[in-house]
Structure formats: structure tokens, C-alpha cells
Amino acid sequence: MSNIKYLLLVSRQGKVRLMQWYTPLTPKQKTKIINDLTPLILARKPKMCNILEYNDHKVVYRRYASLYFICGITNEQDNELLTLEIIHRFVETMDTYFGNVCELDIIFHFDKAYDILNELIMCDGSMAESSKKEILNNVHAMDAIESNDHLDRILS
Amino acid sequence: MTRDKILIAYNKNADFHHFDTIKKIFDGCLDTVEYKATDSILKGLQWKTKYYSADFDLYIDRYESLDQWLDDLKDPECDVLRDALAGLIIIDDVDQKQVSILNKKDSPTVHEESFLVWCNTKDEFSQDETDDMNVRIAVDGASLEIIRLHSEEMNEFSDTVGIERVKEIIDTYQWPNMVKESLENSVRTGKAPSDMDNLDSIVQKLNNARSHYQSLDKDNDEADANSFADEIAKEVSERLGL
């Protein structure tokens, strides 16, 4: 069981590429979390622990090339190692969808990255689907619907 | 002002082939223009990725003292130049004191949206030391990144390093004048599994459309019909992966 509070994707240069909030927070609180965590995590050396405490909860992060995937988790309900696996599953799924995903893919197709994330994690922060195949099928089905809409628009 | 100029500065007394580095960074861009190694402005270059292309100018400057050069760049007289910079790349031996000057938050060297890169030419400075230095810079929340020029492709953590990292930074810069490639071509790396299943419905729609266009008045709607034919040909080719 997981109950993620938020997931942020930050580049090595400190630019936020994706963010998804699973608990109700005010814009001010969200900005504070981003402003606090970005320098804190970017300043950590590669061999340092991927789990740290922040305010009333824990933060689990993992770096893939130039991107940092940062998850805020609930102390009592979440498992840190499971959260690392969820991050890894998200990256693996994007990697299969885009074919060796890079920062540019996420910048230009953030909608697809959000689609994949929404298939993986529900709006309450719990895991919705663990199967990469199933997630990709759903995202491809969405693509097909979008593509058919496009065709319909041309034909009409 | 459009930030579409990249400024490269190097130490003119250094025993380093700076133009080789510039050529490596902008390898594909320099093919379309005539240039000499002594040129200080190269105009009309194009940065291309699979998602976009962007026109930019390359300014190349050299200095004797970086401190003095930075002071000049930060001078209000250079405001116009700084406002036009997509990024600044310094090619020199890294120096902690000058890194601090570049990092000063109260007097930024470039606009916060622009990139700031120091290509370190010092060979004995290892990738680990470079990573450590970047970590210290990140603590201050600055946007400067030190790149070790002698590193190739990736380090042990699969981070892109060396020239490839400089290219990656330029790739992810938000070019204000970027021209996007057709997203239809780049987004769908995976084919929708149901595409071919829908072929019958596509043919049916095509037949309906054919009947509809046959009934149109030839003179008035020829342009319309041509445009339709072009669009449908493109759509069908995309679906068939042509």
C-alpha cells in the first residue's frame, strides 16, 4: 500500500519538469516544497542516501541521468523502498513508451508523461497499476482514440 | 528581447585549441555557414533536435583576465547584450574564485532563464572533483554548471558528461524562437495496437468522404478537394508508418 503525497520531476539545473500533488496543498505550500527540496536534493552527492526527512514527512528521490524524481511519502503508510520501485517503474514505462526517454521527451510530451503517471498512481497517491504492459496498452489506446478523433476531424 | 545568442569566451593566453571545442559543441550547426577560426560572430546558425529547430547567433570573445571581462559583462552598458543571451559558455581552466563571481546571486551574470556553463580545460581535474564542485554550486542554488571537457559521454551514474552534456543543456534551453517539428511524427513512438483493426472503419469513412466530394461543384470546391486529398494522404501514410 502506498500513499504518496506528491511527485516532482526536477532537472539538474533546478527546473521543474513535472509535478503531481496527491494531497490538498495551497499554492504557497507547493511553492515552498519545491523551493526547499530542489536545492536540498540537487546538492546531495551521488552516493548519499536517497531518503531524507523533510518537515513532517519523508522524501524519497532517485536520479536518472539529468532528472531527479522526488516523492513525498507518508511516514506511517509508505515504504521507502517500495516508493523507489514505483519511481523506477514510472521511468521504465516512459523509457519503453518514448524509447530511451530523455529530458527533451518529457518537455515536449509532458502530457504523455502525465498520462503514464496517472495510469500508475491514482489521484489519492496509491498505486493504481503495477503492470507496465497494462499501462502502455492504456496509453496506446488513448493515442489511438486521439488519432481517430484527428481522422474524424479531417473527414468531416 | 529574444534570447537567441550564445556567447563563448575563452582565455586567449591559454594553450588550448578552443575552436576545436566550439566545433565539437556546434558540429552540425557550422556546416551551413562559412567561417574562419578567427571569426568572432557567426550568424544564422541553427540548433536542431528531434523536436525543434532554432536559429541562433554565436558570439566568440577572448579575454586576458576573466575577472575584468566579467566586470565588463556585468556593466550596465552590456545590459542589451546580456538580455539577448541564451547562454554563456566559458572555456578555461576552472578557478574557484571566478566560479564564486559567476555564481553571485545579487549580480547575476546572465538572465535566470539563460544557461551558464564553464567548460573546464584542466585535464588533471577529475570527473569526481567536477561533480563535487557542481554539488557545492547547487547548494548555493546557482545555475552554473562545470563541465569537464576531457570526459566522454557518461560517468558511472549514467550522467551525460563532457561535450555531450553541453549539448544537452543547449537542447533543453527554452528557445524563444524555436520552430517545432510536427508532433505527429515524433510523439507516437509506439504504434497503437488497434490501428490496423480500425482499417475497415477508415475505409468506410473514406468511401463516405469520396461520395460527399463527388457531389460537390467542381469549379468552386476544387481547392477544397485538393486540400482534403493532401490531408487524407498524409494521415493514411502516417497510419501505415510510411
Report all structural domains of chain A as residue ranges with CATH numbers, in order of start: 4-155 (3.30.450.60)
Tens digits of pLDDT across chain B (242 residues): 788 899 999 988 777 778 888 888 988 888 777 777 778 899 889 999 999 999 999 999 999 888 888 888 888 888 888 889 999 999 988 877 777 777 766 666 778 888 999 998 887 778 888 888 888 887 766 678 889 888 776 777 677 888 999 999 999 999 999 998 875 545 554 444 455 556 666 777 777 777 766 666 666 567 777 777 777 777 776 666 55
pTM of the shown model = 0.80
- Confidence check: pLDDT of A2 > 90: no
| pLDDT recorded at residue B125 | 79
Of B50, B143, B188, the CB nearest to A143: B188
- Search chain A and give the residue with CA nearest B192: A140
| pLDDT recorded at residue B189 | 47
Give pLDDT tens digits for A44-100.
888 889 999 998 899 999 999 889 999 999 888 889 999 999 999 999 999 999 998
Candidates B51, B189, B204: best to mutate against A (most CBs of A within 10 A) is: B189
Report all structural domains of chain B as residue ranges with CATH numbers, in order of start: 5-180 (3.40.50.11960), 188-239 (no CATH)
| pLDDT recorded at residue B176 | 92
Q: Is B204 or A117 the better-scoring residue by pLDDT?
A: A117
Q: Is A119 or A147 the better-scoring residue by pLDDT?
A: A119
Give pLDDT tens digits for A4-56.
999 999 998 889 999 999 999 999 999 999 999 998 999 888 888 999 999 88
- Chain A residues with beta carbon closer than 8 angstroms to that of B136: 43
- Confidence check: pLDDT of A120 > 70: yes
Of B145, B202, B231, the CB nearest to A13: B145
Task: For chain B, say whether A141 makes contact (Cβ under 8 Å).
Answer: yes
| pLDDT recorded at residue A118 | 95
Query: Over chain B, what HEC string results?
Result: CCCCEEEEEEECCCCCCHHHHHHHHCCCCHHHCCCCCCCCEEEEEEEECCCEEEEEEEEEEEECCHHHHHHHHHCHHHHHHHHCEEEEEEEECCCHHHHHHHHCCCCCCCCCCCEEEEEECCCCCCHHHHHHHHHHHHHCCCCEEEEECCCCCECCCCCECCHHHHHHHHHCCCCCCCEECCHHHHHCCCCCCCCHHHHHHHHHHHHHHHHHHHCCCHHHHHHHHHHHHHHHHHHHHHHCCC
